[in-house]
Amino acid sequence: MTELHWFKSSYSGTEGGQCLEVAATPVTVHVRDSKNPAFGNFGVSRASWGEFLTYASASRRA
């Protein structure tokens, strides 16, 4: 398995709030807690991640 390259959302501030980090591979998007990366991560398909982002974006506008 190749090394995952984690990043936070551009909406994440520097004050250390509740943040998620993601690492995308060709098939899977991995998600973890930025404050506790040792707790592990979970993966979802790229299609499921896209559906989540669509839902989250719509919820922000509501």
* pLDDT band at residue 21 using 50, 70 and 90 as cut-offs: very high
End-to-end CA distance of the chain: 40
Distance of CA 45 to the CA centre of its chain: 12
Per-residue tokens: 5: 């390259």
| Least trusted range by pLDDT, from 6-10, 46-50, 52-56 | 6-10
Let me know the angle formed at the C-alpha of 44 by 31 and 46, rounded to the nearest 5 degrees. Answer: 105
pLDDT for the residue 49: 95
| DSSP 8-state code for residue 11 | T
- Which residues, including other chains, have CB under 8 Å from residue 60's CB and lie 6 or more apart? none
